[in-house]
Amino acid sequence: MAKKPVQRVKHVPQRTCVGCREVLPKRQMIRIVRTAAGVQVDPTGKQAGRGAYLHDSRSCWTRGLKGALAHALKTELNPDDRARLEEFMNTLPPEAETSS
């Protein structure tokens, strides 16, 4: 009697948010990439260059822009890069306030 083929579980790449250090699947995060043209948001997740990941929450972006993002990309964020990233951050939906 022939054995049935074993169903393989597809590997899901995991990435760490540089803002809050939470590990999530790569597709749930926003990739920031350092290229020769500067630091920019990578909507495809496939641009060449050193990358770092952030959630789509403003709190993670705020913490990331304070220094963790520059450290992860091994570069200094110049004013143009910072302005471009802050502009993208402002397009993110505002976070719901939670009462403790």
How far from chain centre, in Å, is Cα 9?
25
CATH at residue 24: 3.30.1230.10
Answer yes or no: is 56 within a domain: yes
Classify the C-alpha dihedral 55-61-66-71 as positive or negative: positive
Distance CA 21, CA 26 (A): 13
Instruction: Tell me the Cα Rg of the chain.
Output: 17
Distance CA 58, CA 93 (A): 8
User: Please, which pLDDT band fits residue 96 given cuts at 50, 70 and 90?
Assistant: low
Provide the residue range defining the domain that includes 81. 14-91
Answer yes or no: is 98 within a domain: no
Answer yes or no: is 3 within a domain: no
pLDDT in tens, 7-56: 888 899 999 999 999 999 999 999 999 999 999 999 998 999 999 999 99
Burial class (CB in 10 A: 0-12, 13-18, 19+), 84: middle
pLDDT of 92: 87
Number of separate domains in the chain: 1
